[in-house]
Each structure stands twice: as structure tokens, then as C-alpha cells.
Amino acid sequence: MKFGVLKDTKEGEYRVIATPAETSMILRDGHTVYVQKGAGEGSGFKDEDYLREGAILLETREEIYKKSDFVAKVKEIEEEEFPLLRQDQIVFTCIHPAAHPQEVQALLKSGCIAFTAEDSHRYGSPNCEAAGKQGALMGLESLLSIHGGKGKFVNGLGGAPGVKALVLGGGTVGRAAVSVLHALGAWVTVMDINIGTLREIGRQFNEEVNTEISNRYNIEKILPEIDVVYNCVKWPKESKEFLISREMVASMEKGSVIVDISNDVGAIETFRETTHNNPRYVEEGVVHYCVSNIPSAISQSTSIAYAASVLPHFRRIMNKGVEQACIEDGFLRRSLTVYKGRLTHEETSALQGLPWIKPEDVLKIADCELDVAPPATGTRSNHFLKE
């Protein structure tokens, strides 16, 4: 199979989906690897590094799409790429389909086979770990006076108290943020809706962090005394209320900080997406840091970890085919988003009102012994495509 590594061109994006290490392993499996020139430069990988492993360099993304049976990148398919997609081509990237209807329509129209990477991780995405850890540092940086923050130091100084941090969500992102904040000596409170998760976090950090059930009452009560809030919650897109309303933001002290790591519209009323080039803005006297691709700031570390985590998906698909790969890995199966003109992603169906078909049905593998994986989200759809 011919595998193409695309250069990500989203503003402020420096990661690459496959490093020379993954390139070497795919080539050893007997496949051809095309790499767009400069694809790895933002992460510290030179074109010569890929050439040394046996990859073929191509100048443009147009060439990559034209020559490759399977193309991969880190972030969403951009509008300029829509015409380049083609029938039966395999695509693997972070599509975030439920939030990008135009992208979904382009994928459907092309007749390609697309996997959304964010739903494919059995043990949590390295991107989530990177976002949590680096996001923790971005929040502390945003507290600096030079950025409009209070000017507090993370673990305090002699006679001056340290930072009080609130982490909303105890998943991969939240725990990663807590690990950095706790290690640096911040006063940390974690909120989650699952008491079992909170118990695990307590044990993980030697009962040195506070834990509370996440609800409107507890958040409203604690916000006025918090210096920096980290939103690590995957907010239901169908929700009609905010996790943190504008009024709640206004209750925080001037110069406090909100870091919206999740970047889910609807969680925080004062949210608007920002970029690394202009990462902060102030609403209600509170500094907001809402960069959507925080992991790109540590592009080399993230690329190495992320590429290693998705390589098994690439090899399984290329060595065994889409059907067998989806039989053997339920997490890959649930990430199948479109298949030759048919939507196979349940959350997208529910939120965009589009008919869908289950991956196991469109692949005709429902009667096979399937690897089991939980649904990617709690959003359900009974709007099935009629065959």
C-alpha cells in the first residue's frame, strides 16, 4: 500500500503524524511511504531523516493525495483539501466530525474511508496528556502580571501564598494537568461527576489534592477564591446550559485565569477559540487562554508519543485491510467516520441530523467475533440509514 504523510498547515500547528521511526516500520512491512516536504520540520525531523529510512519526498499535498492509497495528518481536513479526497482512499486524522459539518459533507461526497483519530485511542490520546501537562503551564504563565494576570507564583514565596487551581474533569487531560500543578506545589482542587474517579485521583496524588463532585453549586461556591481554572471536560454538544456562565466568570477576582483545554463550545459562556499567535483575551476581568492545539507548543514530544500510539492502527489497516483491522480493534472500529459515501459516526448523526449506519454493518462484520470497545460518547442516534 502507498502511505502518505501530509504536512499540517493549520495556524500554529507544528506536529507530524509519523516520525522517521514509524516511517521505517511501515517500509519494513513492504509498503511505500510518501512524505510531503517539510512535514516534520516543525517537530525537529528533517526531510533527510525520512529519506534515510527510505521514504520518498513529494513537494505538495496534491501529489500526496494523488499517489497515496492512505493519507494521514494530525489536524482536521481543511477546505483546500476537500477536492483532493477521492473514492476508496483511506484517511486518518483528527476530524472532530460532529463539530465540522462541511468537512463531513466533503468526506461523504468523496467516497473515501475516513477514521477520526480522537476516537481511536484505547488508553487515551497522547495529545490529551500533552494538552493537560502543557495547558497547566500555559495557565500559570497567563497568571503573570505581564499577561494581565494577578502575578502569583505557583507555590508561593516566603510570606506569600501559592496558586489555587481548579481542574474540571478527571480524565486523561485533567489528571495530566494535576500532575504538573501538584508537582510544582499549587493548591489543587479536582472536580468530576464520578466519585470513583475522584477516589482514584486522591490515591494517585497521595491525598494531597482536594476532590469535589462537579455540579453548579460547588463550582459557583469555589470560583471566587480560585486563581486559575482548567476546563478538561468533554462537554455534551447538545447541552442547553453552560458549565461556567458569564455571571460565574464575573465572580472571579480580576486577573484570575481560565484555560479552556477542551475547547468545547458551550462549556464556558465567555469562550472563544484562540491561536498560539494571539492566545489570550480578557472577559469580565478574567484572562482567558483558549488555544485549540496546545500540544503543538511541544511538537517534538507530542509527535513522538502520538505517532507511536497510532502506528499500530496504520500497520493493522495496511497489513490486514480495513475490515479485519476493525474486527480486531473496537477502538479503531468506533472511530470509522465515513465509509464510501455513508456516515458511520453516531455522534455526528445525532448532532447533525444525518442518517448513519453502524461500522460493523457497513463492513459486513457484525457476525464476526469483534473486539469490544465502549461508545466514544454518550450521544445516541436511532436515525439509521436505510439500505
Hey, which residues are catalytic here? Answer: 96, 264
Q: How many CB atoms lie within 10 A of CB 272?
A: 11
Tell me the β-bridge partners of 3.
Answer: 33, 70
The per-residue b/e assignment along 32-44, b for 16 or more CB within 10 angstroms, e otherwise, is bbbbbeebbebbe
Q: What is the DSSP string of 239-257?
A: -SS-SB-HHHHHTSPTT-E
**Cα–Cα–Cα angle for 276, 279, 283, rounded to 5 degrees:** 165
Q: Crossing angle, helix 195-204 and helix 172-183, to 10 degrees?
A: 30
328 Cβ neighbours under 8 A, 6+ residues apart: 316, 320, 371
Query: C-alpha cell of 137?
Result: 503551564
Alpha-carbon distance values, 310 to 22, 124, 162, 232, 365 (Å): 9, 11, 39, 22, 23
* φ, ψ (nearest 5 deg) of residue 230: -115, 115
- Quick check: 17 and 6 in contact, CB under 8 A? yes
Q: How many CB atoms lie within 10 A of CB 76?
A: 18
Rounded-to-integer distance, Cα 15 and Cα 306, Å: 9
Question: What is residue 230's three-state secondary structure?
Answer: strand
